[in-house]
Structure 1
Amino acid sequence: VKDLSGLEYCSNLQKLYLHKNSIADISPLASLTTLQMLVLEENAITDISPLASLTNLQTLYLNENSIDDISPLASLTNLQGLSLYSNSIDDISPLVANGGLSDGDSVELSDNPLSDKSLNEYIPQLEERGVEVEWEDTRSYPCEEVVTIPDPALEAAIRTAIGKPTGDLCKSALSKLTQLDVSQRGIIDLTGLEYCTGLKELNLANNEPPWNLTDLEKSELYFNRISDISALSNLTNLTTLHLTWNEISDVSPLSNLTNLTVLTLAFNQIEDISALSSLTELNTLLLGDNQISDISALAALTKLEGLFLLGNQISDITPLSALSNITKLRLDKNTIDDISPLSNLTALTDLDLGLNRIKDISVFANFNQLERLSIGGNQISDVSSLSTLTYLESVNLQSNRITDISSLSNLTNIYYLNLYRNSITDISALSGLTTLSMLFIDANEISDISPLLENSGIDVGDKVGLSDNPLNETTINNYIPQLEERGVEVAY
Structure 2
Amino acid sequence: MRNFFVSSLSLGKALLCCVSTYSIVPTTSAEVIVVPELNLEKAICQSLGVSRDNLTQKLVEEELTSLDASSLEIRDLTGLEFAKNLEILVLSNNLIEDISPISNLASITKLDLSGNRIRNLSGLVPLSGSKMRKEVADFQLSLEDHKISRSQKNELIMKMSEVVERLKLGPWALRELNISGNRLLGLSGIEHLTDLVFLNVSKNALIDLEGLSKIKTLVTLYAQENQLGRVESYIDENKNKSYDLGEPIEDQSGNGKRDTDPLIELKSLPRLTNLYLYNNLLSSLDSIEDLPRLKTFFVSGNRIRDISKLQFFPSLVRLSLSNNQITELSGLRESNRL
Is TM more than 0.5 here? yes
Query: In 1, distance between residues paired with 2:211 and 2:192?
Result: 9
1:230 maps to which residue?
100
- Which structure has more helix as a fraction of its residues? 2
1:336 maps to which residue?
282
Are 1:192 and 2:138 matched, yes or no?
no
Aligned length: 235
Q: How far did residue 236 of structure 1 move?
A: 2.0
Are 1:204 and 2:91 matched, yes or no?
yes
Are 1:325 and 2:271 matched, yes or no?
yes
Are 1:254 and 2:124 matched, yes or no?
yes
Query: In 2, distance between residues paired with 1:158 and 1:227?
Result: 20
Could you tell me which runs of 5 or more consecutive residues in structure 2 were left unpaired when the two chains were aligned.
Answer: 1-26, 129-172, 230-260
Query: In 1, distance between residues paired with 2:283 and 2:220?
Result: 22
Q: How far did residue 143 of structure 1 move?
A: 6.1
Preserved contact between residue 361 and residue 385 of structure 1 (Cα < 8 Å): yes
1:379 maps to which residue?
325
Letter in structure 1 aligned against 2:76: D
SS for the counterpart of 2:213 is: helix
Query: In 1, distance between residues paired with 2:46 and 2:29?
Result: 18
Q: How far did residue 338 of structure 1 move?
A: 2.0
Preserved contact between residue 188 and residue 226 of structure 1 (Cα < 8 Å): yes
What are the equivalent positions in structure 2 for 1:11-410 lying under 5 Å apart? 142=28, 144-176=30-62, 177-207=64-94, 225-258=95-128, 259-315=173-229, 316=261, 317-392=263-338
Preserved contact between residue 120 and residue 184 of structure 2 (Cα < 8 Å): yes
Preserved contact between residue 111 and residue 178 of structure 2 (Cα < 8 Å): yes
Query: In 1, distance between residues paired with 2:92 and 2:180?
Result: 9
Query: In 2, distance between residues paired with 1:166 and 1:307?
Result: 39
Query: In 2, distance between residues paired with 1:248 and 1:308?
Result: 17
Q: How far did residue 345 of structure 1 move?
A: 1.1
Query: In 2, distance between residues paired with 1:334 and 1:148?
Result: 43
Preserved contact between residue 148 and residue 169 of structure 1 (Cα < 8 Å): no
SS for the counterpart of 1:342 is: coil
What do the CA deviations read for 1:74-115 (whole angstroms, capped 9, x no partner)?
A: xxxxxxxxxxxxxxxxxxxxxxxxxxxxxxxxxxxxxxxxxx
Preserved contact between residue 147 and residue 168 of structure 1 (Cα < 8 Å): no
Preserved contact between residue 178 and residue 200 of structure 2 (Cα < 8 Å): yes
SS for the counterpart of 1:241 is: strand
Q: Which has the larger radius of gyration?
A: 1
- Which structure has more strand as a fraction of its residues? 1
Consecutive aligned runs of 4 or more in structure 1 exceeding 6 Å deviation: none
Q: How far did residue 391 of structure 1 move?
A: 2.1
Query: In 1, distance between residues paired with 2:39 and 2:102?
Result: 17
Preserved contact between residue 229 and residue 251 of structure 1 (Cα < 8 Å): no
Preserved contact between residue 186 and residue 210 of structure 2 (Cα < 8 Å): no
Query: In 2, distance between residues paired with 1:328 and 1:172?
Result: 41
Q: How far did residue 168 of structure 1 move?
A: 5.0
Preserved contact between residue 267 and residue 288 of structure 1 (Cα < 8 Å): yes
Could you tell me which runs of 5 or more consecutive residues in structure 1 were left unpaired when the two chains were aligned.
Answer: 1-140, 208-224, 393-492
Letter in structure 2 aligned against 1:165: S
Q: How far did residue 252 of structure 1 move?
A: 0.7
Q: How far did residue 251 of structure 1 move?
A: 1.9
1:418 maps to which residue?
none
Preserved contact between residue 228 and residue 250 of structure 1 (Cα < 8 Å): no
Q: How far did residue 206 of structure 1 move?
A: 1.4
Query: In 2, distance between residues paired with 1:307 and 1:292?
Result: 14
Preserved contact between residue 236 and residue 256 of structure 1 (Cα < 8 Å): no
Letter in structure 1 aligned against 2:105: L
TM-score by length of 2: 0.67
* Percentage identity across paired residues of the two chains: 35
Preserved contact between residue 120 and residue 188 of structure 2 (Cα < 8 Å): no
What do the CA deviations read for 1:56-91 (whole angstroms, capped 9, x no partner)?
A: xxxxxxxxxxxxxxxxxxxxxxxxxxxxxxxxxxxx
What do the CA deviations read for 1:29-56 (whole angstroms, capped 9, x no partner)?
A: xxxxxxxxxxxxxxxxxxxxxxxxxxxx
Q: How far did residue 144 of structure 1 move?
A: 4.5
What do the CA deviations read for 1:397-427 (whole angstroms, capped 9, x no partner)?
A: xxxxxxxxxxxxxxxxxxxxxxxxxxxxxxx
Preserved contact between residue 239 and residue 262 of structure 1 (Cα < 8 Å): yes
Q: How far did residue 169 of structure 1 move?
A: 2.9
Higher relative contact order (Cα pairs below 8 Å, separated by 6+ residues): 2
Letter in structure 1 aligned against 2:227: Q
Q: How far did residue 265 of structure 1 move?
A: 0.6
